[in-house]
Structure 1
Amino acid sequence: MIKKSKNESEMGYSNKVTASDVAKQAGVSKWTVSRAFSQGASISTKAREKVLKAATELGYRPNLLARSLTIRKTRLIGLVVDEMDNPNLLQLIKETSLKLQQRGYLSVLINISEHGEQEKQISLADQFQIDGLIFLGTTLTEALVDLAQTIQHIPLIVLCRNSDIPHIQVVSTDGYGAGKQIAALLAKQGYQRIGYMTGPISESTQLNRLEGFRDGLAELDLKVEVILEAGHYGRTAGFNTLNQYLATPSDRQPIEALFCENDVLALGALDALHRKSHADRIGIVGFDDIDEASSPYYALTTYQQPLKQLVDEAIRCLDGERETSRPLLLPGELIIRQSH
């Protein structure tokens, strides 16, 4: 049996056990050790038992990185994110990483929130030979689109946004249908002057919530009176955007209801209303149904995305179980509370 040296034991570490050490202990070849840890490989039961026994005694763990170089599969999936302060994104990261682990993948978080580092981070991930990229609600810049189009040897998936970029599979909530449902809800409440608050604008990846909202209102002889651009999905951005709108003099009558592109913006908008004691004057609807939306203080009416189903379908695309280049759009659920 291979033992630690006295010096190694005293220092609390030892040289890493290799496949050659296991082979020597078991009295077999190194290739027999490799076959023992390769699913479906040809090896006798007796030889496998000898190898596993020796591996247990030595504390051996197979080197998955070395094996990945042989089979050209790393089982590493890059999760690309930008708006890190969005609670819905944190839930999406949690759900996606857990589902990937259940499938035998390891997720690598790629944060592209810092401008100027986006292309560098994606290129670095590609150099690590990841097996796929999942853009988690990411707003794709023109530079990222160009880069993604050059990475065609691995699956590229946009999750929770829409895109018409070639070679990228879309798995998202039906934002257009959701927008129409929210339009019908606000019209039913009797609102006449209705606005929309948007986050970052992207020509490459869309949510289609505004389009559905606008068309839904038009069918009811209404229109989007004003579009408030918050710039990014931050609570402070939502607060400042609506606060500025309320403080700006105008000859037009103020809006009576506002559909915010996500819950974080909606909570910020509600904070602005509470501060000005306008909470009962403007109806607010969000999108995502984050935990804080159900707080009695906000009681936010919102649209819940089917995150578990979306992640399941994205990973099916990743594994090649779903052969489609068309966008996969799933319906969510309108959650009625009091804010609208």
Structure 2
Amino acid sequence: MTKDSTAAKQLKATASDVAKRAGVSKWTVSRAFTPGASVSDKAQKKVLAAAAELGYRPNLLARSLTKKSTHIVGVAIDELKNPHSMKMLDAATKELQARGYMALLLNITEGENYQAVMAMADQLQVDGILFLGNILTDELFAVAHTMHHIPFVQVCRNNSDEREIEVVNVDGFNAGREIAALLLAEGYQRFGYLKGPDSETSQLMRLEGYCERLNEAGFQLETLLIAGHYDRKLAYDTLLNYLQTTPPEERVEAMFCENDILALGALEALRSLDMQHSMAIVGFDDIDEADSATWQLTTFSQQLGKLMTEALNRLIDNEIDEQGDWRKGELKVRRSHLKSS
């Protein structure tokens, strides 16, 4: 093989190259790679054979841009160390791929340059943005709001009424009520709640529903602990400090943790003091580790597949089902909430 032919091999083949090799027009090449386009079987076979010889692949992105749709959706996510975030990402990408879309991952971890990340999505002309982050900060909201031509749907978190953004979230208020009812049925009388960030609880509504059901039964929330972040070690330290500084007769009997990461940290704190089952622990999210024989964590599944289907129905098809099953979720009853025998 000559030096010239080697160089030619290394150059990416174009539609014009294929057209020349197949003896057809450039537009025939384009139609041959477009599903449903009008092209004869004979011409299509010649084009495909020439393309195979030259190693030609059509530029789908360029073609999509001419049709005003890239079939790319930006997936904005933070807390990538959180197993629930990874479950959300898995559910989102599977649903997107099933619809013939690709995901552009936008890491919006706290402290990163939101402007640069979102500008990249804008420049690539994504068809929409799926927001899976834990907190939609004022800064990030302001950036997203400037991209008014791009649809934006937030999943698994609520927003204040002033923010005109589509939200797809499980009914956290009712989920909190279900968890309170479960603990009341076990006969507990002293109740606590362990938060992650000290942010507005209206983003989730779990605490509000939990407290309302307790109040209806004649009880109240006695202890509110704040870990400061959705971090297992911080949850461990927070509950450990509570256990070490609170007399046994004043401790709560049941603790609802805002998510499973916090719940696992709380269970580890109890185990470190050899106090397993001295306090009921309930989580939220149903991450994979929740079902392990080690923890048997009672928790609440948000049924992410249903949430992502609804979110993408809104984002891509502009179809909304306000009262669908995606709002319900499912209580997963295991053993961490039970009284010690």
TM-score by length of 2: 0.91
1:176 aligns to 2:169 (yes or no): no
Opposite residue 221 of structure 1, the aligned amino acid is G
Contact in 2 for aligned 1:182/1:213 (Cα 8 Å) = yes
Distance 1:20 1:117, change over 3 A: same
Contact in 2 for aligned 1:256/1:283 (Cα 8 Å) = yes
Secondary structure of 1:152's counterpart equals coil
Secondary structure of 2:43's counterpart equals helix
1:151 aligns to 2:151 (yes or no): no
Task: Report the Cα distance in structure 2 between the residues aligned to 1:8 and 1:231, rounded to whole angstroms.
Answer: 63
Distance 1:12 1:297, change over 3 A: farther
Shift of 1:255: 1.1
Task: Report the Cα distance in structure 2 between the residues aligned to 1:39 and 1:234, rounded to whole angstroms.
Answer: 48
Opposite residue 95 of structure 2, the aligned amino acid is K
Task: Report the Cα distance in structure 2 between the residues aligned to 1:282 and 1:100, rounded to whole angstroms.
Answer: 41
1:92 aligns to 2:101 (yes or no): no
Opposite residue 94 of structure 2, the aligned amino acid is L
Task: Report the Cα distance in structure 2 between the residues aligned to 1:185 and 1:13, rounded to whole angstroms.
Answer: 68
Task: Report the Cα distance in structure 1 between the residues aligned to 2:124 and 2:93, rounded to whole angstroms.
Answer: 18
Note the residue ranges of structure 2 that are not aligned, 5 or more in a row.
none
TM-score by length of 1: 0.91
Counterparts of residues 156-171 of structure 1 (less than 5 Å): 156-163=152-159, 164=161, 166-171=163-168
Percent identity for Structure 1 against Structure 2: 49
Contact in 2 for aligned 1:76/1:106 (Cα 8 Å) = yes
Contact in 1 for aligned 2:197/2:228 (Cα 8 Å) = yes
**Structure-1 residue corresponding to 2:45:** 49
**Structure-2 residue corresponding to 1:337:** 334
The CA deviation string for residues 254-312 of structure 1, in whole angstroms up to 9 with x for no partner, is: 11110001111100000001111222211100011111112222111111121111112
Task: Report the Cα distance in structure 2 between the residues aligned to 1:94 and 1:117, rounded to whole angstroms.
Answer: 24
In the alignment of these two chains, the number of paired residues is: 336
Opposite residue 258 of structure 2, the aligned amino acid is E
Of stretches 44-53 and 149-158 in structure 1, the one that deviates more from structure 2 is 44-53
Contact in 1 for aligned 2:128/2:316 (Cα 8 Å) = no
**Structure-2 residue corresponding to 1:29:** 25
Of stretches 190-199 and 113-122 in structure 1, the one that deviates more from structure 2 is 113-122
**Structure-1 residue corresponding to 2:191:** 194
Task: Report the Cα distance in structure 2 between the residues aligned to 1:202 and 1:54, rounded to whole angstroms.
Answer: 60
Opposite residue 31 of structure 1, the aligned amino acid is W
CA RMSD of aligned residues (A): 2.5
Task: Report the Cα distance in structure 2 between the residues aligned to 1:167 and 1:6, rounded to whole angstroms.
Answer: 63
Opposite residue 222 of structure 1, the aligned amino acid is F
Note the residue ranges of structure 1 that are not aligned, 5 or more in a row.
none
Contact in 2 for aligned 1:288/1:303 (Cα 8 Å) = yes
Shift of 1:188: 1.1
Secondary structure of 2:250's counterpart equals coil
Opposite residue 93 of structure 1, the aligned amino acid is L
Distance 1:77 1:283, change over 3 A: same
Opposite residue 157 of structure 1, the aligned amino acid is V
1:6 aligns to 2:8 (yes or no): no
Task: Report the Cα distance in structure 2 between the residues aligned to 1:126 and 1:144, rounded to whole angstroms.
Answer: 14
Task: Report the Cα distance in structure 2 between the residues aligned to 1:212 and 1:204, rounded to whole angstroms.
Answer: 11
